[in-house]
Amino acid sequence: MHHFHYKNNKLYAEGVPLTEIAEAVGTPCYIYSQATLTHHFKVFDNAFSDVPHLTCYSVKANSNIALLKLFASLGGGVDVVSGGELFRALKADVSPKKIVFSGVGKTEDEIKMALEADILMFNVESEAELETIHEIASHLGKIAPIALRVNPDIDPKTHPYISTGLKKSKFGIDIKIAEQLYLKANHIPHIRVIGIDCHIGSQLTLLSPFLDALERIKLLYQKLEAQGLKLQYLDLGGGLGIPYGEEIPPHPTEYAQAIKAAAQDLNCTLIFEPGRVIVGNAGILLTKVLYLKQGKGKTFIIVDAAMNDLIRPSLYHAHHEIKPVEKMERPLVVADVVGPICETGDFFAQGRKMPLVQSGDLLAIMSAGAYGFVMSSNYNSRPRVAEVLVNGDRYQVIRKRECYEDLIRLEKIPEWMA
Ligand code: LLP
């Protein structure tokens, strides 16, 4: 569900025609719909309203502070994976007691920052990290609340780059040795063991991997309980997929029902770290057609956005629908939609049936709200694009387009060349 719809053959974000935003802000730009963001957050969160739970939006999916502020105002917490994300969350007034800190390589500075902020819990990914957290906590005279991120060795049946819960991946602690480490951690003075955590991958379109992982985690939870270690939090990570094209992932309420049924005898607070399911379909990348070029047996539609703005098609061969902002009677052609970057991998679609657009036409690359802007770069010295939030009939730029000066702001010509 989202609020990008055609009215009189023109594509709108809620009440605002995309042509209006293109004119005022320029292209390319990301456009997010606040009504969609709010709806997605509420649907997910309300699906668990009858059990103790905390929805910790995964900041990495889209870290704009306006979005973090919105989710915080809806009662959400966040999942962060770096000092930078923690900084953003605190700036957006997310309550520290609703922040969980994940990630395989937390630095000493990041751990210190999180301890000083009094976050809810660290999701610890190795014994070495546990020791470092303990050292820093004792130095600061604090007690660090932790969960161990357990790797349940489950195949999430998604793209290999976003599968994290298999034994061969770098993530989490092997479930076979987790019990030992829990019992050890429980006796470390500046560590308070309060939870168990797992995240098996992203863009999951089946329920079964979630439930298989939960079964394994439950066994561990119960073994620990039998040994007198009662855990308060069960963090099941994120990972629920969204429809980009033909796929039909489980609806959040279906996911919630299955998880609640499986976890009902555990009597603990559930934590979730959804990212994509909240923001993915709430955003688009608006781009303009620069040129058309006839290749062998296909047409190249060259647009002003590129792989540096949205890398998912290049990196994962991810499918994103591409819609004309103004629908017109046009013949269909088989086209590659490509950007201006000097790489063959710079494409948004290959061999796609597209209306024969013309130079100057606007296109909307759909489902770009998650892992879009956050993965963008300055490759080819392209300034990063603007981000716009639409709310009903209003819209506002929530991140300015970078300018050329921004590109070199932190660079310096060494003295010996001056
Ligand atoms: N929690 C942890 C520990 C994670 O590693 C992730 C995502 C999430 C939560 C949120 O997962 P989600 O609900 O969004 O699936 N760049 C890739 C996705 C990478 C996901 C990384 N971890 C893409 O564009 O598909």
pTM over 0.90: yes
Residue 172 beta carbon below 6 angstroms from any ligand 1 atom: no
Checking if the pLDDT of 157 tops 90, the result is: no
pLDDT of residue 295: 82
Checking if the pLDDT of 412 tops 70, the result is: yes
Q: Which of 56, 198, 342, 403 is catalytic?
A: 342
Is 15 annotated in a binding site? The answer is: no
pLDDT of residue 161: 65
CA of 198 to the centre of ligand 1 (A): 12
Checking if the pLDDT of 300 tops 80, the result is: yes
CA of 369 to the centre of ligand 1 (A): 13
Q: Is the peptide bond before 17 cis (omega within 30 degrees of 0)?
A: no
Residues contacting 365, CB < 8 A, separation 6+: 284, 285, 286, 287, 305, 310, 320, 321, 322, 348
Q: What are the tokens at 396? A: 């506002």
Q: What is the pLDDT of residues 190-238, one digit of tens each?
A: 999 999 999 999 999 999 999 999 999 999 999 999 999 999 999 999 9
Please name the helix (run of DSSP H) or strand (run of DSSP E) that holds residue 53, with its range, or none. Answer: strand 53-58
Query: 322-324 and 386-391 as β-strands: parallel, antiparallel, unpaired?
Result: unpaired
Q: What is the pLDDT of residues 127-152, one digit of tens each?
A: 999 999 999 999 999 999 999 999 99
Average pLDDT estimate for 250-269: 96
CA of 7 to the centre of ligand 1 (A): 34
* Ligand 1 atom nearest 311 alpha carbon: 24
The residue among 156, 148, 281 whose CA lies nearest residue 211 is 156
Residue 85 beta carbon below 6 angstroms from any ligand 1 atom: no
The residue among 27, 32, 30 whose CA lies nearest residue 362 is 27
Confidence of residue 411 (pLDDT cuts 50, 70, 90): very high
Residues contacting 209, CB < 8 A, separation 6+: 154, 155, 156, 157, 165, 200, 201
Q: What is the DSSP string of 247-281?
A: --PPPHHHHHHHHHHHHGGG-SEEEE---HHHHGG
Q: What is the pLDDT of residues 7-22, one digit of tens each?
A: 999 999 999 999 999 9
Average pLDDT estimate for 367-379: 98
Residue 241 beta carbon below 6 angstroms from any ligand 1 atom: no
What are the chain's domains? 4-31+280-408 (2.40.37.10), 103-272 (3.20.20.10)
Checking if the pLDDT of 164 tops 90, the result is: no
pLDDT of residue 155: 78
Please name the helix (run of DSSP H) or strand (run of DSSP E) that holds residue 67, with its range, or none. Answer: helix 65-73
Which residue's CA is the closest to the ligand 1 atom numbered 9? 238
Is 275 annotated in a binding site? The answer is: yes
CA of 61 to the centre of ligand 1 (A): 7
C-alpha torsion angle, residues 412, 414, 417, 418 (rounded to 10): 60
* Ligand 1 atom nearest 239 alpha carbon: 15
Residue 235 beta carbon below 6 angstroms from any ligand 1 atom: no
* Ligand 1 atom nearest 164 alpha carbon: 5
pLDDT of residue 163: 66
* Ligand 1 atom nearest 102 alpha carbon: 3
pLDDT of residue 302: 98
CA of 339 to the centre of ligand 1 (A): 25
Checking if the pLDDT of 242 tops 80, the result is: yes
- Beta partners for residue 286, in sequence order: 29, 364
Q: What is the pLDDT of residues 45-91, one digit of tens each?
A: 999 999 999 999 999 999 999 999 999 999 999 999 999 999 999 99
pLDDT of residue 169: 75
56 is catalytic: no
The percent of residues above 70 in pLDDT, for the chain, comes to 98
pLDDT averaged over the chain?
95
The values of phi and psi at residue 16, to 5°, are -115, 125
Confidence of residue 1 (pLDDT cuts 50, 70, 90): confident
Inter-residue contact 105 to 83 (CB < 8 Å) = no
Residues contacting 378, CB < 8 A, separation 6+: 308, 384, 402, 407
Confidence of residue 416 (pLDDT cuts 50, 70, 90): very high
3-class DSSP string for 24-43: HHCCCEEEEEHHHHHHHHHH
